Amino acid sequence: MTTEIFLALITGLGIGSIVTASIQHILKRREATLESQQQDLEKRYRVIILLMYAAIDFDKNRPTLQKNRPDLQTINDVLDELKTEWHNMTLFSSKPTLENLISFIKQPSNENFRRTAQKMRKDLQRGNINLLDNNLNF
């Protein structure tokens, strides 16, 4: 009887350890995947923010834009690039972010920039900040 209890205890502990290790492995993989997705999202949003900034005042930003993206010769090129980014964003962005970027593409302005940036921040779980139009003009 003592041997049976001992065997049952060892078997129970072994199975419990295997289950615990398996669950921990699954959770770590899921966390790594989410972290990778978050980093990818942040990289894409940084590019989009810079394109939006270039679209607001294309003439002022043209020299910098030409260094980094010589293929973007006109404001229409920038807006076309934003349209392409919008299509990519349908894979990972929230509906409000997509809608605000459409508004920006149709009418580039500080107000539409601010709204889109705030929705992006929400997607990135960064919290809300008070971006006023006058904060964008410096």
Q: Which residue shows structure tokens 């078997």?
A: 11
Q: How would you class 14 by CB atoms within 10 Å of its CB: exposed for 0-12, middle for 13-18, buried for 19 or more?
A: exposed
pLDDT of residue 137: 55
What does the DSSP 8-state code read for residue 57? T
Q: Where are the domains of the chain?
A: 36-136
Residue 36 phi/psi, 5-degree rounding, is -65, -45
pLDDT tens readout for residues 88-129: 999 888 999 999 999 999 999 999 999 999 999 998 887 666
Cβ contact 89:101 at 8 Å? yes
Q: How far is CA 30 from CA 27, 33, 38, 43, 106, in A?
A: 5, 5, 12, 20, 38
Query: Which pair of structure tokens corresponds to residue 114?
Result: 């601010």
pLDDT tens readout for residues 5-58: 776 766 766 666 666 777 887 888 888 877 887 888 889 999 999 999 999 989
